[in-house]
Every structure is written in C-alpha cells, then in structure tokens.
Amino acid sequence: MQDHQNYRQNQNQNSPINIAAIDIGSNTILMQILQLSDIPTIIADYHGIARLSENINVTQTICPAAIRRASAILSEYALHCKTADVKYIRAVATSAMREASNSAEVVQQLEQAFGMPNFHIDIITGDEEAELSFLGAINALAAGTTYTVIDIGGGSTEIITGNKQHIISKISIPIGVVKLTEQFHITQPVKDALRLEIRHFLCETFSVIDASVHNGELIAVSGTPTALAAIACNINEYDNNKINHFRFAKEVLSQTISLVLNAELTALQSDYSIEKGRADVLSAGAMLLEALVEKLGKDTFIVSTNGLRYGVGIKKALELQNI
C-alpha cells in the first residue's frame, strides 16, 4: 500500500522516479538505475566482481572472503542509490545463493552492508531467473517474433524461448563459468586435450535441451558474450552502443573463441582489457557459449547487454505502473 501511495504521489508531482535493480550473481554483482517516465530509461549501470561461488562445489558454502567482497560492492551501490535519489530497489540473488548452505546468513550480512531501510534480497528460483533474463533481453525488440535467450552465469545457464506475450519453454542448467573453470581447473592457454574433455562434458550436459523447442531468434546475454563481442569488435573500452545488438556470425565466434583459448591470462587483461575477475573464467564461458550455439543449430546470434538486472527493473516498473 505504501508503494502505491508513494508512486501515485510522485506521479502527481510529475517528477521522474528512479528505481534500482540489483543482480547478485555467482561471479558478478550488477546494478542498473532506471528512470521511469513514458518508458524506463537506463541512467546508470554498475558492475563489481564478488565471486560468491568461489569453491562452492567443494565447501557448499559462500566463503568469508567472498562475503566481504560482496559487502563492499553493495555498500558502494547504496551510496549510488542515495545520490540518484532512488525510490524503489529490488535485489535478487541467483545460483550461488540457491546452493549455499549458509545463504540465509549471507543474505542477512549483505542486507546489513547495504545499510538502507527496507532493503531486502530475494533468492529467486532458476525458473524466475530465466523469466527475468528473457524479459530484459527482449523488452526493446520487436513484438510477434519468437526469441531464444541464453544467459550464461557464474553458476547456472538459462535457456528461454518465447515472445512478448508468453514464454514457450525454459530450462535452467546448474553449470556456469565459475563452476566449469573450477571443475576442470582451466588455466590459460587452454590445452587441446582439456578442450576436448570439456567439449564432451558439455555435449552430455546440454543433451537435456530440446533444440526443436528452443528455435527462436537467438540472443545471448551476460558477461561472456559481451566480452567476446568487445574482442571481435577490437574495442579496448566498453562501448554499449557497439556491443548491444552486435550480431555474431558462427565463423567470427569460432575465430574469437580460438583467440581467447590460446591467449595467456595476462594478454586477455592487457591486450583485450578483460578485467581480472572476468578474464580467468572467459575461456569457460566461451566454450559454454560455443556448445550452446552448436546444440541449438544456429549460424548467427545477437548479443544483448540487457539481461537479468534489466528484467528485474522492467518488472518492478510494470508493477508500479499497475498498482
């Protein structure tokens, strides 16, 4: 009821309303601030690397160092929200929080670190994660078209097919860039024998995907496709205008992935400006993406910079407009 009253009051004053959407993932913590007017507009975008899923396959818990990293990021995000006069915040947590035995304790610590009243973190299911990623990826695209969205995270991968009216099929698979990197001890450059072993593993893992159902226009979201697009475009600094809706041909993808797999870790960071917490899992992400594109039988796909966090923001905006 309070949300309803506050929203209507702000609407009546004709003042713009800012909302924040926070995606607490297994590797990154991302936040977008959207301004609501006729359509939601992104006015700020932030990212930080906490790697909450560090060693979670072994310990089944989120380690203290990861909690400290996440707390520092969220504390900084709270300052950005205050500066931007954000009225509404929704924060969601995904795979690492779903799996960790100490997730309730971690949520409490992170909420305290954010330090703003009425701030809550929702641990969402794989299905809800898929739905929100899909909403974020297709929101600005044409209606009436069927899309298949793939979202490669740190701890899970989602594949969702549908259109703006409804979702036809969705699946969440518990493998992501951090898990794959740790499971196979991937280091740079990636040896041929290890590539083959991972390829066989991914082929078996993705055998549960029905390609005949997931046959829409392919869109890839998350850090892996955006980083690969930046390399393919020879961009040394992140440029959303060049990366968003970049179309990857299969041949260009193969060349870019080969470059990544054969590179030293220092070269990925220095020559291609891949940040430290992304560079060491990029090969895993590249192999995941390549296996998915092959499984779905696609020769081309679109890269989108709008994924889960944008979907969270759009859904919150729709809720506010309808209350």
Considering the domain architecture, whether residues 52 and 159 belong to the same structural domain is answered as no
Domain's final residue, options 62, 96, 126: 126
Give the pair of three-digit tokens for residue 73.
């990021």
Side-chain-side CA neighbours of 263 within 13 Å: the count stands at 23
Residue with the larger pLDDT of the pair 32 and 12: 32
Considering the domain architecture, whether residues 162 and 292 belong to the same structural domain is answered as yes
Considering the domain architecture, whether residues 103 and 174 belong to the same structural domain is answered as no
Considering the domain architecture, whether residues 290 and 145 belong to the same structural domain is answered as yes
In a domain, 314, yes or no: no
Structural domain count of the chain: 2
Considering the domain architecture, whether residues 22 and 97 belong to the same structural domain is answered as yes
Kindly report the average pLDDT of the chain as a whole number: 90
Considering the domain architecture, whether residues 169 and 244 belong to the same structural domain is answered as yes
In a domain, 198, yes or no: yes
- At 229-252, the pLDDT tens digits run 999 998 877 777 889 889 999 999
Provide the domain limits for residue 58. 2-126
In this predicted structure, what is the pLDDT of residue 141? 76
- At 201-226, the pLDDT tens digits run 999 999 999 999 999 999 999 889 99
The domain that holds 43 is classified in CATH as 3.30.420.40
Q: Are 217 and 296 in contact (CB under 8 A)?
A: no
Whether 50 has a pLDDT exceeding 50, the answer reads yes
Considering the domain architecture, whether residues 183 and 285 belong to the same structural domain is answered as yes
Considering the domain architecture, whether residues 161 and 295 belong to the same structural domain is answered as yes
144: left (phi over 0), alpha (psi -120 to 50) or beta: left
In a domain, 313, yes or no: no
Domain's final residue, options 68, 99, 126: 126
Residue with the larger pLDDT of the pair 73 and 318: 73
This prediction's pTM: 0.87
Q: Which of 36, 34, 40, 46 is nearest to 78 (CA)?
A: 46
Q: With bands split at pLDDT 50, 70 and 90, how would you rate the model's confidence at 323?
A: low
48-57, 81-90, 151-160, 312-321: lowest mean pLDDT where? 312-321
Whether 186 has a pLDDT exceeding 70, the answer reads yes
Question: CA 123, CA 141: separation in Å to the nearest integer?
Answer: 28
Q: Which of 20, 2, 78, 104 is nearest to 309 (CA)?
A: 20
The strand pairing partners of 148, in sequence order, are 161, 218
Determine the average pLDDT of the residues in 243-270. Answer: 94
Whether 5 has a pLDDT exceeding 90, the answer reads no
Considering the domain architecture, whether residues 121 and 157 belong to the same structural domain is answered as no
In this predicted structure, what is the pLDDT of residue 216? 93
Name the 3-class secondary structure at 162: strand
Return the percentage of the chain with pLDDT > 90, whole number: 72
In this predicted structure, what is the pLDDT of residue 14? 59
Percentage helix, strand, coil, to 5, in the chain? 50, 20, 30
In a domain, 311, yes or no: no
Name the 3-class secondary structure at 100: coil
In this predicted structure, what is the pLDDT of residue 3? 54
The domain that holds 254 is classified in CATH as 3.30.420.150
Considering the domain architecture, whether residues 76 and 215 belong to the same structural domain is answered as no
Question: CA 162, CA 184: separation in Å to the nearest integer?
Answer: 33
Whether 6 has a pLDDT exceeding 70, the answer reads no
Determine the average pLDDT of the residues in 263-286. Answer: 92
Return the percentage of the chain with pLDDT > 70, whole number: 94
In this predicted structure, what is the pLDDT of residue 1? 37
Whether 16 has a pLDDT exceeding 90, the answer reads no
In a domain, 310, yes or no: no
Considering the domain architecture, whether residues 162 and 122 belong to the same structural domain is answered as no
Whether 143 has a pLDDT exceeding 90, the answer reads no
Give the pair of three-digit tokens for residue 16.
């713009």
Strand runs labelled E in the chain:
17-24, 28-36, 41-49, 86-93, 121-123, 147-152, 157-162, 167-173, 217-221, 247-249, 300-303
In a domain, 259, yes or no: yes
In a domain, 24, yes or no: yes
Give the pair of three-digit tokens for residue 167.
């979702």
Q: With bands split at pLDDT 50, 70 and 90, how would you rate the model's confidence at 7?
A: very low
In a domain, 212, yes or no: yes
Q: With bands split at pLDDT 50, 70 and 90, how would you rate the model's confidence at 77?
A: very high
- At 289-304, the pLDDT tens digits run 999 999 999 999 999 9
Considering the domain architecture, whether residues 201 and 229 belong to the same structural domain is answered as yes
